[in-house]
Homo-oligomer: A and B are copies of this chain.
């Protein structure tokens, strides 16, 4: 009857937002409970520890990557290379909407936790791999425009590298400029690869 999500989901949602804004260590359980409108008894009924709640948040991100981040862009854009920049534009919108205070939720937690929380680190790597796989698909779909020497996986990982670095700089400077600069450079790189792929790689196929 009620549209309110169940307690477990509210806890995950509240934790997600707070971890995103403040980080994991800086977010107290009490704060999560307040935001979720729940009591500690409920939280510890669902999650044995605060870290288990963190893992649930990361699993949530992993499961929502395709339906929320990738699929909407793929539905809107057909060209495989433009799909890549469409995904990147999604992060640009998040930065803009939050005045460059919030970027990629995974990257955020990656640097804070990868040294001290092994299970979280693995889930973060899984998130990265899922993201990379989507971009890799785009590159494979555009393989006929790129040089044969270009490796789809390496290129996809480089796109993720660029996105994460770009989000970091835009947050540090509180300006969208570093993000836009990075995306423009990445596009220039792709343009050069495409030029290289058409100018003397394609023409010689008939011979």
Closest Cβ of chain B to A51, distance in Å, is: 12
Assembled-state Cα–Cα distance A168/B166 (Å): 12
* A125 at the B interface (CB under 8 A): yes
Within 8 Å of chain B (Cβ to Cβ): is A112? yes
Taking CB atoms, residues of chain B closer than 8 Å to A110 are: 168, 171-172
Question: Number of contact residues on A: which range applies?
Answer: 35 or more
- Asked whether A169 and B115 contact (CB < 8 A) given A25-B25, A162-B161, A182-B158, the answer is no
Residue of B whose beta carbon sits closest to that of A107: B168
In the complex, the answer to whether A171 meets B111 with C-beta atoms within 8 Å is yes
A150-193 contacts to B (CB < 8 Å): 154-155, 157-158, 160-166, 168-169, 171-174, 178, 181-182, 184-185, 188-189, 192-193
Can you report 19 residue pairs joining A to B where beta carbons are below 8 Å apart? A23-B25, A25-B26, A26-B112, A101-B115, A103-B111, A108-B112, A114-B171, A154-B184, A157-B181, A158-B162, A160-B165, A161-B165, A163-B165, A168-B168, A185-B189, A188-B189, A189-B189, A192-B192, A192-B196
